Amino acid sequence: MEFKEVSLDEVTFNPFERIGTQWMLVAAGDEKKSNLMTASWGGAGVIWNKNVITVYLRPQRYTKAFIDDNETFTVSFVSEKYREALGICGSISGRDVDDKWKEAGLTPCYIDGTIRVSS
């Protein structure tokens, strides 16, 4: 899978369904160290005329430290064919494996210092 930035005007899926039932991938970090996880708590909307996505992570989550330590994080929505990868990202911690990206069969892609997800 190659990363493709999509304009919000092009989004044809229901973000509430994707976030709540199909999971989103949340990734943060830099080229030295990064992590990703699945999340199903969040929302999409507009605040002060800006499009926003919110994610809610427990403080104990390994990925949260990467978000706290970086200016940006990435939220990705992938197709059903990546369900197994999502399951891996949601069931193992990056603390416990050498390379969670590899375990899930995904590859981090860094663009302008921001992490993106590809397979």
Q: Tell me, yes or no, whether 110 lies in a domain.
A: yes
pLDDT at 77: 83
pTM: 0.77
Q: Tell me, yes or no, whether 71 lies in a domain.
A: yes
pLDDT in tens, 19-32: 767 778 899 988 88
Domain count, the chain: 1
pLDDT at 118: 52
Q: Tell me, yes or no, whether 3 lies in a domain.
A: no
Q: How far apart are CA 30 and CA 65, in angstroms?
A: 12
Q: Containing domain of residue 43, as a range?
A: 8-118
pLDDT at 80: 82
Q: Tell me, yes or no, whether 57 lies in a domain.
A: yes
Q: Tell me, yes or no, whether 2 lies in a domain.
A: no
Is residue 66 within 8 A of residue 73, CB to CB? The reply is yes
> Which residues, given as ranges, of the chain have pLDDT below 70?
1-8, 11, 16, 20, 112-119
pLDDT at 60: 92
Q: Tell me, yes or no, whether 75 lies in a domain.
A: yes
Query: What are the start-end ranges of the E strands in 72-119?
Result: 74-76, 107-111, 114-118
Residue 26 belongs to domain with CATH number:
2.30.110.10
